[in-house]
Structure 1
Amino acid sequence: MTPTATATAPQGRAYTRRISQIERGYLNANATGTPQLIQMVIEGAGHLDPAELADAVRRSTAVNPGLAVRRKGPNWRAEAELPPITELPADAGFDHPFFHRDLDVVAGPVCELGLSTGAVTRLVVRASHIVTDGRGLRYWIEDLFRALRGEDPVGADSTVDDAHFRTAAAPVPAAPVPPRVPGWPAILGQGPADGTALWLRRSVPATPSAPTARVGAAISRLLAADAGRLIIPVDLRRHDREVRSTANLTSQLVLDLHREDRWNRLHSQLLAAMLRKREVAALDRDFLRNNPFANSLREAQELDGSQFPCTAILTDHGRIDTELYRTAGFRPTEYYTLPMLVPYAEMFLSTCQLDGRTEVTLSCRNRPDARPAAEAVLDEVERALLAAE
């Protein structure tokens, strides 16, 4: 694993923004010892030159400074050091330490890249979910490839936080607080976990509508109880599409899940919640008093893995335009994410659609019998997506 030296960012207007309520929630989760990371992977044919990549990192970060911040008291402040690049062995699998190490938002960096070259060229971009979300990181990656093509980066340097979107979404009806539940029985293995994430991928030759609801319904077939609970992350930027920011601007919708649930019921429930702006209403709750999962760090740490108050987190990155990641010497063929572990959720599934297929990645705790149980979940997901076509 060879670190590649990086240049310093050009000097200019200092980028500073306050740590938001959403980001403080991720700081709390990180305090349990569970890394809060987004990892996006782009694979393809051809070559990415490390020196050219380092220069593209400099150019992209100059106009997306939120990916080079450090925590300074109640604020994020951009520093001169850029996201570093690590050259990985061509045969590095997802058990390689690079994919499991945490990123320190105080010492930095909050973003890093891994590059491996062999029969397939793989670029991995890892970022702290405390400071960014999927949309924010994609802004930076898209500018990275614009720079590699010799184009001008677009940039996303807004310093607004979630309070801006509360105002932009107004009026927002108050929403009931999801009731606390003791937890649902685990379905992905039993016994002690080793502290690392287990990732499984499935490529399904179908691109149906409503993939999130269909995945949720598939999971309901394997519930170990009569019910479960889903979290659906929602991008607050939908309430002001003029804002370009790399901040963590993702709020949560909580949906109840029933055994043998129907995808159209889940889809209707999700659409109704978004129509009522429930993800914005959730921002006005007292996090410590009205959190439906864990009201304290102690409660989160006491979860022993035998039951979880959240069955699954489901996130959909939508349709991916692979042309955004093409260069003169590199042709992308694969795009997927490696979802993080969440202290109170048993599994995290990420989907995206490209080139006539849906890519599904599942993360869960690595423990006895987890792999075959997770493969069974992906079998159900694959059947559900194929049946919809």
Structure 2
Amino acid sequence: MTTPSTAHRPYTRRISQIERGYLNAAATGTPQLIQMVVEGEGPIDPDALRAAVATATRANPGLAVRRRAALWRADGPLPPVTELPAGTGGFDAPFFHRDLDVVTGPVCEVGLVNGSRTRLVVRASHIVTDGRGLRMWLADVFRALRGEDPLGADAVVDDTHFRTAAGTVPPAPPPARIPRLPAILGTGSADGTALWLGRTVAGTPSAVTARVAAVLARHLPGDTGRVIVPVDLRRHDREVRSTANLTAQLVLDLARDDDWRTLHGRIVRALVHKREVAALSRDFLRDNPFANSLREAQELDGSSFPCTAIITDHGQVDTDELSTAEFRPTAFRTLPMLVPYAEMFLSACRIGEVTELTLSCRDRPGAREAGEALLDALEHALAGADRPAPAPTTSPHEDAPPCP
């Protein structure tokens, strides 16, 4: 299935059901942002980067939209490029915590640190794009830096296109509402600030999502828990190039004794039965397993959660795609956002022969220590993992699902 190009008319598309979920999440006061960090050797010229960002955004106009009633319209500002001080080594600077306004724009921005190591930071509103869409745009930025033509992604379809493309989808019962689960990472009041903890794991094991979920199961404070696995709807029509937010969700219930093979099998069966598409056909409020109103979502105070974690696997990062004649990437990671109804967000990607894990949670007393202990357990499980495993034939995972 193909969609017509928008090259000869202004880029405008309807705000989708998925994107409205993220607008609701933002209304709770929790910024809905994707942040990707590329580190490497060799400089990136700031002026050349600004020109490349402009070229890439013209080819991917969804990264320059603003909200206009029920529509996104590409009449917003281009993503600005901010040069950050060479000493910006951690992620405590205000740049990493400020929100982006989808009404005024910009909906995307870039930070650049040139020093002994170069760091490129891309921040975008998750309301208007997802991880796959942002990586399309980022790849075009580097194509422009290399003097190549961008591939572009200007389709104006939304999730309804992919529901049709998926064909027959067996109905699935909505997940049951479950009591809120006590926090695993720390105790006491959380200040709403994101705490990001990272770990580099030697090796690139298969079935990372299931292996991470199995480790979480053993850390549950009770007998059961619940995780969400984001799924990229583009898998149902790979000819469409779009930077829109096209991430749906699989809800996966955990028991303390679940092993990764059991969980991996359940994920594969859910993908085969297109459960993430079935979820889009449910009544968003009545059948939502986390909150049935904005008021109920706002009452989630960060002390207990109806979802233990969101787990996303960004797959293999193509280092050639993010290179120039002067710059060679050596590390790639994401800084996952906080989600009102989930205690933590775990993101994985593979670059070269290592797996990068990043955990985000609310900063509270004991959270850092508990998070590091959890990463210790995850590193042990992944580093000792056997490579062979039954794996999906698709690469479904993306970013956080919509919040009620």
TM range (shorter): over 0.9
Moved more, 187-196 or 63-72: 187-196
The answer (yes or no) to whether the contact 1:251–1:279 under 8 Å persists in 2 is yes
Between the aligned partners of 2:257 and 2:365, the Cα distance in structure 1 is 26
The answer (yes or no) to whether the contact 2:76–2:104 under 8 Å persists in 1 is no
The answer (yes or no) to whether the contact 2:302–2:340 under 8 Å persists in 1 is no
Read off the aligned partner of 1:232 and give its amino acid letter: V
Between the aligned partners of 1:384 and 1:286, the Cα distance in structure 2 is 38
The answer (yes or no) to whether the contact 1:219–1:380 under 8 Å persists in 2 is no
Deviations 1:269-311 (A, max 9, x none): 1001010000000001111111000111111121232321000
Moved more, 183-192 or 226-235: 183-192
Between the aligned partners of 2:248 and 2:105, the Cα distance in structure 1 is 25
Q: Does 1:165 align with 2:162?
A: yes
Between the aligned partners of 1:72 and 1:62, the Cα distance in structure 2 is 19
Moved more, 186-195 or 69-78: 186-195
Give the SS at the match of 1:379: helix
Read off the aligned partner of 1:14 and give its amino acid letter: P
The answer (yes or no) to whether the contact 1:155–1:244 under 8 Å persists in 2 is yes
Between the aligned partners of 2:335 and 2:208, the Cα distance in structure 1 is 18
Tell me how large the CA RMSD over aligned residues is.
1.0
Between the aligned partners of 2:205 and 2:270, the Cα distance in structure 1 is 21
Matches within 5 A, 1:80-119: 81-92=77-88, 93-119=90-116
Between the aligned partners of 1:374 and 1:81, the Cα distance in structure 2 is 38
Read off the aligned partner of 2:241 and give its amino acid letter: R
**TM-score, normalised via structure 1 length:** 0.96
Deviations 1:114-154 (A, max 9, x none): 00111110000000000000000000000000000000000
Choose which of 30, 34, 39 in structure 2 pairs with 1:34: 30
Matches within 5 A, 1:8-157: 13-79=9-75, 81-92=77-88, 93-157=90-154
Unaligned runs of 5+ in 1: 1-10
Read off the aligned partner of 1:255 and give its amino acid letter: L
Deviations 1:330-362 (A, max 9, x none): 111011100000000000000001111100000
The answer (yes or no) to whether the contact 1:39–1:126 under 8 Å persists in 2 is yes
CA positional deviation for 1:80: 5.2
Give the SS at the match of 2:213: helix
Between the aligned partners of 1:370 and 1:293, the Cα distance in structure 2 is 23
Q: Does 1:352 align with 2:354?
A: no
Between the aligned partners of 1:364 and 1:314, the Cα distance in structure 2 is 13
Unaligned runs of 5+ in 2: 1-6, 387-404
Between the aligned partners of 1:298 and 1:81, the Cα distance in structure 2 is 33
CA positional deviation for 1:193: 1.1
Aligned residues: 379
C-alpha spacing 1:260/1:206, structure 2 compared with 1 (3 Å): farther
Please list every run of at least 4 consecutive aligned residues from structure 1 whose deviation after the TM superposition is greater than 4 angstroms.
none
Give the SS at the match of 1:44: strand
Read off the aligned partner of 1:181 and give its amino acid letter: I
Deviations 1:88-113 (A, max 9, x none): 11122201000000000001110000
Read off the aligned partner of 1:299 and give its amino acid letter: E
Between the aligned partners of 1:263 and 1:244, the Cα distance in structure 2 is 33
CA positional deviation for 1:260: 3.3
Choose which of 305, 314, 319 in structure 2 pairs with 1:317: 314
Between the aligned partners of 2:201 and 2:22, the Cα distance in structure 1 is 31
Moved more, 337-346 or 189-198: 189-198
Give the SS at the match of 1:38: strand
